[in-house]
A and B are shown apart, each in its own frame.
Chain A
Amino acid sequence: MTTAQALDLSAAHWLLHAGNRIGATIILHALKVLIVDDNVPMRTLLVAMLRGFGLRDIGEAADGEHAFRELRTKPYDIVITDLAMPSSSGIELCHALRRSPKSPAPQIPIILVTAHTERDRVLAARDAGVNEVVTKPLSARTLVERLCAVIDEPRAFVQSAAYVGPCRRRRADPNYRGPKRRRNETDFRDTDWVVELD
């Protein structure tokens, strides 16, 4: 690399980062986010909020299967998915992304959006490997807090027979004496729509 090329790269890097810091609404513009929801109006509202925060590259998918296919064609940074969708749910998508050998992005941050606030459903989402859960009705503040959490506070990534996803212990506890759940075996099989993919 010549000195001129190095300077060009350095200038481009500075401009990118300066632009990120200076702009009132462009801080997150470099991120590519995929929204997965069967409900078109909900996707419209999510897109409006994300655009309000300066995101420009926003993809949409109507269910888990389409999202999985979309992720195989384009490198997204974050997935925001609904929980309940008629054909393939957010949990199913999460399982496929985290554990399928065909997954294009096993470690991609996943934010789950749901109107279901029951404890068992939230725990199921956590155990499927979602990074953050946000409940409807959404506000821009709540959404950006979750986005900031996956960007600023990434967690260690665990791959075990029982679980694949961000570490579920948000705080390291050196005195932990509980069960070693990561050693438990569980069966995982690709769902039909993943099996059928090339």
Chain B
Amino acid sequence: MTPIVSPPDRRLQRKIGGSARAMIKPGQIEAAEAALREAAKGVRPQVMDALAASETLARQRPFNAPRQLYEHAHAIRGLAGMCGYPKLGRIAVAMCKLLDGVDDGAAIDANLVTSIAVAMIHAAREPDRDPAMLDELIAACHEAVEQAKAV
């Protein structure tokens, strides 16, 4: 099949009447960020629900629901930063890395799973209490996950 290359389609520019970038007014991005912050207030309870569900799953013994916990951690990872919990998001990244591709029933360090879940709770409940300590905790979570994955 001979490749067909069509020229760039400027239909959207014509539709809005010119360059989108040139039309953005100062303050408009800030207004959209404010709209995001306002909407995020309504989403925070759902992040907290996902967090509570994650903790419950992570404390189960035997731990046998990595897929379900991954789904919660993945949702938290995506939402946390937009809801004002950037450090929670960073710990959720560690949980996702640990559980990515792990099937239900596969062997996994359940205590590490619980530790990361507890760190997530800590980052959500007291994000500003001791920022340096929280940064260390985040680093420790990621390091532990790297080690666990290397085994």
Contacts and interface: CB of A to CB of B under 8 A. Distances in A.
A139 B86 CA distance: 12
A140 B19 CA distance: 18
Contact of B28 (A25, A40, A78, A157): A25
Contacts of A158: 3-5
A157 B35 contact: no
B62 interface: no
B82 A138 contact: yes
A52 B35 contact: yes
Contacts of B106: none
A182 B38 CA distance: 46
A17 B16 CA distance: 7
B20 A151 contact: yes
- Chain A CB within 10 Å, residue with most, of B9, B16, B39, B74: B16
Contacts of A155: 8
Contacts, number: 155
Q: Chain A interface: which size bin?
A: 35 or more
A115 B82 CA distance: 12
Nearest to A145: B21
Interface stretch (A43-51, A66-74, A91-99, A189-197): A43-51
Interface string A93-134: 000000000000001010000010000000000000000000
Given A45-B82, A77-B12, A148-B24, A20 B17 contact: yes
Interface string B41-53: 0110011000000
A160 interface: yes
A179 interface: no
